[in-house]
């Protein structure tokens, strides 16, 4: 542990190695470096988090207790001029799943933290009273948040930016009222983006931490790389490819610049894997109302100033802004909605009114909630309501039928406020809702390990099914996004086949861990770039000079460490499963009609390829091979 004053020299190699450790109870603020070997072996962000949380948390810790730790970490490329070098992760044990959680966010907060001189923040313990953290280069303060506790996230951003601007615009990451009260679906909102999944907002709330504000005047992007010339060449090469990419090109614009992530609605629905009305079907008859093309024509503002705020150093520009110019939601202006949100409040709820979807997203942002999980849970409750499993008393009188856009919006508002039984059920997620309702509803409660299933029906993409089942944070679409090959039209892999999917998933998981989530760049790059492109950026930025095998091995190491984290918490093969609907009810429509997820055959093969035993636990051999010897005593007795 070292205390470092103002550094005028650009850092040399192993640049990403200064962390703030902030104890909210004792108010101690320390600056510390990690061993260089740890940085080399885990790279950044999710990787570093897996190391810290495995080492520092005891098994069985209550995620909402003072013992949990909340990590805000940047990746190796965050803050550099690398394309999409903007992401940060928020990691902790999740109160939603009681498992590992890494939640990622773009925008501008992560780079600002790097410019202030820090690679990450380890937040420990719990403040007795509401506080926020203000970081301005060497100055790090814990300040009283009594005056903003209770405020929506838009106001919180505004007031903190006004308060702390200092030559640069302060960047804010904060929670809203949902996180403050510990709602399990609470997100952390930052500059029009969210670290949405897994209830990281609830952990932040449990620590009485309202926000972290950052301004960084210490470093410029060039200071953050060890081989500036090599890095510039690598960046240039990436830009060249991105501008040529079918999806990512700016000129002529590909579907990402044109339609953002919503650009894939058309293909996913055509693949028969756009989960509709709580996964009762895989195609939505109104999908064309929700395609990127339709949003671009009817709700989004054109891409010109002043308008969408792209993430820092993004050459793809998938960000869009919705504006509602008439009707009930007049005056609404919000970033998004993204693909997952459009699905969650759209097809999942049988709703096709774009303005209502934008309003639902706005409310999630306002109160600080995860749109995916909220929409998933509302769809579940709509099915329960239509089946007579919940009463009007429990819905506060809402007629919660599929397709009722106004009821959907009201339900989101109740979720934000935690109002009534309905508000509490929604804001704590589908697993708890099903446990409350019972009566067989668990069979169509769409979650894995407690995390709500997102916007791809795995019966129309077997690989996605395996990815959901083995996801370290639960049903995550990003854990192994096979949809690119299985669902984008025309698919390059047969979505109905299970052959070779295990290997493909393993590769994706490991590459995801290292190349995107620990490097700190955006997954959308993956439409055009591959792991070797990222490796070149990482090597010139860090000076680590990994070869491809070493680099991929970092991804495997992280996957084994988060798996070990979950094993230590008691997770095992029985948890690597899917909701009964996906395993037992054949898809009733679309090109994959008749399919269920054939999980077991893929799972066996996946475990074997991973070097995990029959209950899904990494073998000692595998752990040793990955330099994870320290894990062994925690998973094996004797």
Q: What is the nearest approach in angstroms of a copy of itself to the Cβ of residue 159?
A: 5
Find how far residue 292's CA is from the centre of its chain. Answer: 21
Nearer to a copy of itself, 121 or 324 (CB): 324
Nearer to a copy of itself, 89 or 108 (CB): 108
Nearer to a copy of itself, 95 or 177 (CB): 177
- Residue whose C-alpha is closest to residue 363's, from 312, 419, 307, 404: 419
Distance (Å, whole) CA 247 – CA 289: 21
**Residue 281's beta-bridge partner residues?**
276
For 353, left (φ over 0), alpha (ψ -120 to 50), or beta? beta
Contact residues: a copy of itself, CB under 8 A: 132, 143-152, 154-165, 167-169, 176-177, 301-302, 304-307, 309, 321, 323-325, 327-328, 330-334, 366-367, 416-417
Q: What is the nearest approach in angstroms of a copy of itself to the Cβ of residue 288?
A: 24
Nearer to a copy of itself, 410 or 525 (CB): 410
Long-range contacts of 145-152 (CB under 8 A, 24+ apart): 145/208, 145/209, 145/210, 145/211, 148/210, 148/211, 149/180, 149/210, 150/177, 150/180, 151/176, 151/177, 152/176, 152/177, 152/366, 152/367, 152/368
Distance (Å, whole) CA 175 – CA 157: 10
Distances from the Cα of 260 to the Cα of 363, 365, 584, angstroms: 21, 19, 34
Nearer to a copy of itself, 321 or 445 (CB): 321
Phi then psi for 600, rounded to 5 degrees?
Answer: -55, -45
**Beta carbons within 8 Å of 8's beta carbon, 6+ residues apart:** none
Nearer to a copy of itself, 205 or 467 (CB): 205
**Residue 20's beta-bridge partner residues?**
31, 121
Q: What is the nearest approach in angstroms of a copy of itself to the Cβ of residue 209?
A: 14
Nearer to a copy of itself, 427 or 482 (CB): 427
Phi then psi for 90, rounded to 5 degrees?
Answer: -120, 120
Q: What is the nearest approach in angstroms of a copy of itself to the Cβ of residue 121?
A: 19
Nearer to a copy of itself, 160 or 524 (CB): 160
Distance (Å, whole) CA 171 – CA 107: 9
Would you list the DSSP string of 592-609? TTT----HHHHHHHHHHH
- Residue whose C-alpha is closest to residue 428's, from 185, 175, 177, 188: 185
530 CB neighbour count, 10 Å cutoff:
12
CA quadruple 534, 538, 541, 545: dihedral sign: negative
User: Residue 182 burial (CB < 10 Å; 0-12/13-18/19+)?
Assistant: buried
Phi then psi for 272, rounded to 5 degrees?
Answer: 75, 20
Q: What is the DSSP pairing of strand 131-136 with strand 209-215? A: parallel
Phi then psi for 369, rounded to 5 degrees?
Answer: -135, 155
Would you list the DSSP string of 347-376? GGGT---HHHHHHHHHHHHHHTB-HHHHHH
Nearer to a copy of itself, 169 or 609 (CB): 169
Q: What is the nearest approach in angstroms of a copy of itself to the Cβ of residue 418?
A: 8
Nearer to a copy of itself, 44 or 418 (CB): 418
Q: What is the nearest approach in angstroms of a copy of itself to the Cβ of residue 506?
A: 41
Q: What is the nearest approach in angstroms of a copy of itself to the Cβ of residue 151?
A: 4
Q: What is the nearest approach in angstroms of a copy of itself to the Cβ of residue 218?
A: 17
Nearer to a copy of itself, 152 or 341 (CB): 152
Q: What is the nearest approach in angstroms of a copy of itself to the Cβ of residue 297?
A: 14
- 371-386 and 420-427 helices, crossing angle to 10°: 130
Nearer to a copy of itself, 386 or 406 (CB): 406
Q: What is the nearest approach in angstroms of a copy of itself to the Cβ of residue 276?
A: 31
Q: What is the nearest approach in angstroms of a copy of itself to the Cβ of residue 61?
A: 29
**Beta carbons within 8 Å of 133's beta carbon, 6+ residues apart:** 22, 121, 123, 140, 141, 142, 143, 209, 211, 212, 213
Q: What is the nearest approach in angstroms of a copy of itself to the Cβ of residue 491?
A: 36
Q: What is the nearest approach in angstroms of a copy of itself to the Cβ of residue 176?
A: 6
Distance (Å, whole) CA 600 – CA 583: 10
Q: What is the nearest approach in angstroms of a copy of itself to the Cβ of residue 314?
A: 15
SS3 454: coil
Nearer to a copy of itself, 146 or 594 (CB): 146
Nearer to a copy of itself, 144 or 588 (CB): 144
Q: What is the nearest approach in angstroms of a copy of itself to the Cβ of residue 140?
A: 16
Determine which helix (DSSP H) or strand (DSSP E) holds 621, and give its type and residue range: helix 620-625
Phi then psi for 136, rounded to 5 degrees?
Answer: -135, 95
581, 446 in Cβ contact below 8 A? Answer: yes
Q: What is the nearest approach in angstroms of a copy of itself to the Cβ of residue 157?
A: 7
Nearer to a copy of itself, 310 or 346 (CB): 310
Count of all residues that appear for the chain in the document: 638
Nearer to a copy of itself, 112 or 510 (CB): 112
Determine which helix (DSSP H) or strand (DSSP E) holds 259, and give its type and residue range: helix 255-259
């Amino acid at each position: 542990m070292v205390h470092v004053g103002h550094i005028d020299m650009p850092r040399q190699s192993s640049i990403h190695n200064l962390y703030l450790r902030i104890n909210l109870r004792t108010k101690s603020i320390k600056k510390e470096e990690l061993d260089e070997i740890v940085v080399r072996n885990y790279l950044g962000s999710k990787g570093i988090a897996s190391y810290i949380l495995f080492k520092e948390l005891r098994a069985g810790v209550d995620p909402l207790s003072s013992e949990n730790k909340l990590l805000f970490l940047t990746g190796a490329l965050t803050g550099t001029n690398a394309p999409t070098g903007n992401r940060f992760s928020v990691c902790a044990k999740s109160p939603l799943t009681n498992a590992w959680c890494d939640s990622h966010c773009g925008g501008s907060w992560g780079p600002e933290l790097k410019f202030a001189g820090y690679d990450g923040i380890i937040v420990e313990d719990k403040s007795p009273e509401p506080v926020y953290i203000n970081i301005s280069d060497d100055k790090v303060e814990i300040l009283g948040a009594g005056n903003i506790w209770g405020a929506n996230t838009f106001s919180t951003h505004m007031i903190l930016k006004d308060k702390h601007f200092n030559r640069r615009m302060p960047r804010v990451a904060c929670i809203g009222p949902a996180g403050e009260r510990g709602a399990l679906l609470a997100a952390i909102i930052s500059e029009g983006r969210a670290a949405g999944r897994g209830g990281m907002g609830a952990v932040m709330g449990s620590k009485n931490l309202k926000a972290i504000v950052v301004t960084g005047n210490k470093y410029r992007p060039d200071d953050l790389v060890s081989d500036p010339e090599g890095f510039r060449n690598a960046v240039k090469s990436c830009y060249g490819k991105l501008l040529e990419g079918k999806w990512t090109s700016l000129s002529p614009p590909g579907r990402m610049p044109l339609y953002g992530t919503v650009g894939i609605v058309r293909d996913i629905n055509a693949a028969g894997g756009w989960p509709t009305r709580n996964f009762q079907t895989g195609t939505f008859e109104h999908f064309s109302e929700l395609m990127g093309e339709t949003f671009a024509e009817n709700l989004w503002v054109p891409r010109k100033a002043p308008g969408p705020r792209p993430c820092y150093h993004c050459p793809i520009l998938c960000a869009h802004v919705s504006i509602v110019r008439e009707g009930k939601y007049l005056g609404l202006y919000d970033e998004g909605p993204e693909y997952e949100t459009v699905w969650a409040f759209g097809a999942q709820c049988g709703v096709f009114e774009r303005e209502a979807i934008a309003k639902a997203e706005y409310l999630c942002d306002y109160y600080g909630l995860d749109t995916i999980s909220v929409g998933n849970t509302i769809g579940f409750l709509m099915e329960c309501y239509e089946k007579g499993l919940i009463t009007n008393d429990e819905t506060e009188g809402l007629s919660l039928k599929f397709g009722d856009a106004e009821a959907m919006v009201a339900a989101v508002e109740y979720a934000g406020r935690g109002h009534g039984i309905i508000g509490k059920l929604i804001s704590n997620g589908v697993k708890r809702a099903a446990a409350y309702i019972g009566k067989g509803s668990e069979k169509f409660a769409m979650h894995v390990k407690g995390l709500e299933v997102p916007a791809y029906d795995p019966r129309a993409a077997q690989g996605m099914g395996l990815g959901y089942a083995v996801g370290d944070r639960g049903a995550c679409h990003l854990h192994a996004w096979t949809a690119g090959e299985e669902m984008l039209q025309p698919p390059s892999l047969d979505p109905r086949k299970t052959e070779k999917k295990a290997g493909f998933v393993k590769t994706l998981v490991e590459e995801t861990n290292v190349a995107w989530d620990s490097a700190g760049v955006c997954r959308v790059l993956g439409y055009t770039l591959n792991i070797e492109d990222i490796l070149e950026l990482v090597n010139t930025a860090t000076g680590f000079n990994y070869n491809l095998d070493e680099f991929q091995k970092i991804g495997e190491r992280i996957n084994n460490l988060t798996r070990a984290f979950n094993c230590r918490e008691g997770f095992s093969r029985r948890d690597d499963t899917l909701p009964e609907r996906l395993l037992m009810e054949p898809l009733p429509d679309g090109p994959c009609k008749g399919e269920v997820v054939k999980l077991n055959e893929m799972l066996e093969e996946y475990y074997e390829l991973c070097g995990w035993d029959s209950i899904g636990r990494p073998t000692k051999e595998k752990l040793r091979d990955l330099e994870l010897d320290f894990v062994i005593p925690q998973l094996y007795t004797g």
